[in-house]
Amino acid sequence: MFSIILPGRPCLTDIVAIDPQPTGQATKFAFKFPLTPYFSEIVVFFLPGTVLPQDTAAAIYIQYPDAEFQFIGALANETPSAVFKVTPPRRTEAQDEDQMLDDASAAGNAANSSPAVTLGISIEPVQVVAPQVAALEAESGNNKSGGSTELVRQTQQKGISTKVLAQRIIGNAFNFLASFAGSDPSGGGQEVVPLKAFQDWWTKFERRVNVDPTFLEREDPRASG
C-alpha cells in the first residue's frame, strides 16, 4: 500500500502489517530502517492503486531508538504523497565507537550495523487525524508535515455536503437574478431574465470565489449574492 524514500537510500517497500485482520484489511503498518546515515526528510507515498476507505487518513508516526512514537503528519486520498521533515537524534563519536565494537562482536551481522528507526502508518478516521495535524502545524509554525495542511482544510469542509453547496450556489444566483426579472415580451405571462444579467452574476460570483473561496460554506442560501 505504501512506500518510503530517504534521500540517498534505496526506496523501501518491505512494509509489515502489524495488526493483521481475519478479512485481510490491516489498518496498521510499519517500516524499519537504520538510523544512519543521517537523514532529515522522509518521503511517504501511496503505491499505485492504493485508495483509503472513505473519511479516513493515513497517520504517520516515527519512533527513534529508545524513544516513543511521535506523530509527524498524514496522507489522504487527496494528498497521496508528502515530504515529512524530521529530526533524528545525532550519534556521538562514543556511540559510534561502541557500535563498531558491537559490529565486530556480531561478526559482520548487518542487522546490528545501526540502531533501527520505525515508521508507523495507521489508517484512522479523518476526524481523529485532523486535530493532530492542526496541533503539529501550530507547534511547528510551518508546513512541517508536507501535504497535511490540505487534509485539515478538507476536513473542515466536511461540514458542508455537495447538496447543500449546490443549493447555496443556486440560491446565490437566484437572489442576484431576481431583480433583473421582467415580463416575457411574447405575452406568455412568464418572467424572464436577460442573458447579460446571468453573465454579470457569473463574473461577480467568480470574483468573490477568488477572493474568498469558502464564503459559500458560511453563507445562508437565502442571502444575497
pLDDT digits (tens, 9 = 90+) for 123-150: 999 888 888 888 888 777 644 444 455 5
User: Which residues in 203-212 are b (16+ Cβ under 10 Å) and which e?
Assistant: eebeeeeeee
- The number of distinct structural domains making up the chain is 2
Of the candidate ranges 36-40, 109-113, 171-175, 184-188, the one whose mean pLDDT is the lowest: 109-113
Residues 199-215: what's their mean pLDDT? 76
Asked whether residue 62 falls in the same domain as residue 138, the answer is yes
Does a structural domain hold residue 225? no
Asked whether residue 142 falls in the same domain as residue 172, the answer is no
Angle (CA) 219 221 223, round 5°: 70
Does a structural domain hold residue 56? yes
Q: Which three cell numbers stand for residue 151?
A: 487534509
Look at the block and give the residue holding cell 494528498. Answer: 79
Asked whether residue 104 falls in the same domain as residue 169, the answer is no
CA distances from 214 to 72, 91, 134, 208, 218 (A): 27, 47, 18, 10, 7
Does a structural domain hold residue 22? yes
CB neighbour list of residue 121: distance below 8 Å, 6 or more residues apart: 2, 15, 28, 29, 30, 31, 44, 58, 59, 60, 61
pTM across the whole model:
0.59
Of the candidate ranges 121-125, 214-218, 221-225, the one whose mean pLDDT is the lowest: 221-225
Angle (CA) 142 85 11, round 5°: 145
Asked whether residue 205 falls in the same domain as residue 120, the answer is no
Asked whether residue 118 falls in the same domain as residue 10, the answer is yes
CA separation for the pair 224, 123 (Å, rounded): 42
Q: Is 119 helix (H, G, I), strand (E, B) or coil?
A: strand
Does a structural domain hold residue 223? no
Contact in structure between 56 and 123 (CB atoms under 8 Å): yes
Asked whether residue 206 falls in the same domain as residue 104, the answer is no
Higher pLDDT, 178 or 84: 84
pLDDT value, residue 168: 75
> Range of 52's domain?
2-158
Asked whether residue 37 falls in the same domain as residue 92, the answer is yes
How many CB atoms are located within 10 Å of the residue 44 CB? 25
